[in-house]
Structure 1
Amino acid sequence: MAIIKNGVNGTVSGKAGSVVFVSTKTGNYVRSLPRVKKREPTPEQLLSRKRFKIVRSHIGQLKPIINMGYKAYSYPKRAYDVAMSYNLNEALIREEDGFVVDWPKFMIAKGSPNPITSYIMDFDQENQVLLVTWEYDAYLEEKFDTGSYDSFLILYNAADNGGGYPLVMNDLKSSLMSGKQTVEIPKHRKEVTYEVYIFFIESYGGGNTDSLHLGTLKV
């Protein structure tokens, strides 16, 4: 902002628009503001941006699940922020020109240890139904009282190339102790690759288990 001293006939000082008024012993001058040269990002900065971008893209797609799966673990911080931080540090593999996600280490839920010890995935192609059956660690189930927790079976199309179905989950929920869960998968015009996860959550809010990556499913 420019300031006029001693009325309209006085001197002007300060900045107005793209010019600056300067008062010296020899007189008053008007100068153009110096141009700020935009610095090009360093290779390290570009790599950091790639790292952040790849995790943010997946956390954004999975946000409804992240909000459930990180709710208790992240409190009082936002679930989104904690999921970003965790996966940035734990779930990326460095490549020559960037990063790729290490899906077995990528976590869509954080909580008590996931008690599953073994599992089988069986896909009924005719009916487009995936059945997952499992065995669980009885000690962990009793210690964290997770036997009645609802199961969430999540299929994530990371490439989102299946015609609008990046995320599929079960409608009807089974308990951990039931040892099985099904999910119906929409039909696609072309082959789609899903990353398959499961975790268990208390029916009326509260605690949940870590997510477990069950593998990759092509349908």
Structure 2
Amino acid sequence: MGTIVNGANGGFKGKAGSIIGSSWKSINYIKGLYKKRTKPASEAQLIQQEKFRTLMRFLLPINVFLKIGFGGKNTEKVTPMNAAFQFNLKRAITGVYPDFSLDYSNISISDGGLYGGGTVSASFDSGELIFTWSTGASETFETFADDLVYVLAYHPEKDEFISTPAPSTRSMGVVTFLVPDHLASGSVHTWLFLSNRSKTRVSKSVYLGEVQLI
């Protein structure tokens, strides 16, 4: 049985007949009960479902990055994961159904107004991935030496992500880390973005290219 929350004019919670009331982040919702599909999905629906699977398979493992990179995107109504999905849906998927794939160069891990890393690069040497960026800070642009730098690499053949144990800072200018033995062949796609120390402002992520592992 459903109940009225916060008085007669409040939200509805629970089940009553064919409707269900619920709330999320203080927003009240009413929806109908799920009805078992009797007709097969249309081609348009199948296309959307496959796009969803293709993109979410990539995004789900990096939710910890997306919480920062898309954490300021109207989070009262959508989660950072949903914001990242919506942002990347029209940009990152390529190919023709059912053979969709991702254009890694168009994938964004973050989006915001913080000034980024300036001149950035990613390379591989002696078993290590090396990320570099500009160290200059500017009060004019509200960038500081202790801004946090996040780096990310994705190995498509192994379907695995690797990164540093903790973010670096703008003042460091470089970070390196060993590539695990089981990933030390093929290539990785690489990204970098920054946030302020409180993680309330972020930069746009930068795709640093595909790096060959020797």
Q: Which residue of 210, 213, 218 corresponds with 2:204? A: 210
Residue 94 of structure 1, CA deviation:
3.6
Q: Give 3-state SS (helix, strand or coil) of 2:112's partner.
A: coil
After TM superposition, the score normalised by the length of structure 2 is 0.70
1:169 partner amino acid: S
Q: Is the 8 A contact 1:157 1:194 kept in 2?
A: yes
Contact 1:151 1:175 in 2 (8 A): yes
SS at match of 2:201: coil
Q: TM-score with structure 1 length normalisation?
A: 0.69
Q: CA RMSD of the aligned region, Å?
A: 2.8
**Does the 8 Å contact 1:114/1:212 carry over to 2?**
no
Equivalence map 1:90-169=2 (5 Å): 90-95=91-96, 97-112=98-113, 115-125=116-126, 128-135=127-134, 142-161=140-159, 166-169=160-163
How many angstroms apart in 2 are the aligned matches of 1:215 and 1:133? 13
1:29 aligned residue: none
Pairs aligned (count): 177
SS of aligned partner of 1:41: coil
- Asked if 2 retains the 8 angstrom alpha-carbon contact of 1:153 and 1:183, the reply is no
Partner of 1:181: 175
5+ residue gaps, structure 1 = 1-35
Q: Distance in 1 between matches of 2:61 and 2:156?
A: 9
Instruction: Please name the residue that 1:63 is paired with.
Output: 63
From the superposition, tell whether residues 60 and 189 of structure 1 become closer, same or farther in structure 2 (CA, over 3 Å): closer
| Secondary structure of the corresponding residue to residue 81 of structure 1 | helix
Instruction: Tell me the amino acid that sits aligned with residue 48 of structure 2.
Output: S
Question: Partners in 1 of 2:73 and 2:144 — Cα distance?
Answer: 16
Specify the alignment match of 1:5 in structure 2: none
Distance 1:113 1:103, change over 3 A: farther
CA shift, 1:57, in A, is 0.8
Task: Using the aligned pairs only, state the percent identity.
Answer: 16
Counterpart Cα distance in 1 of 2:156 and 2:51? 16
Deviates more, 1:77-86 or 1:97-106: 97-106
Amino acid at match of 1:143: F
Residue identity in the other structure for 2:164: N
From the superposition, tell whether residues 68 and 158 of structure 1 become closer, same or farther in structure 2 (CA, over 3 Å): farther
Gaps of 5+ in 2: 1-35
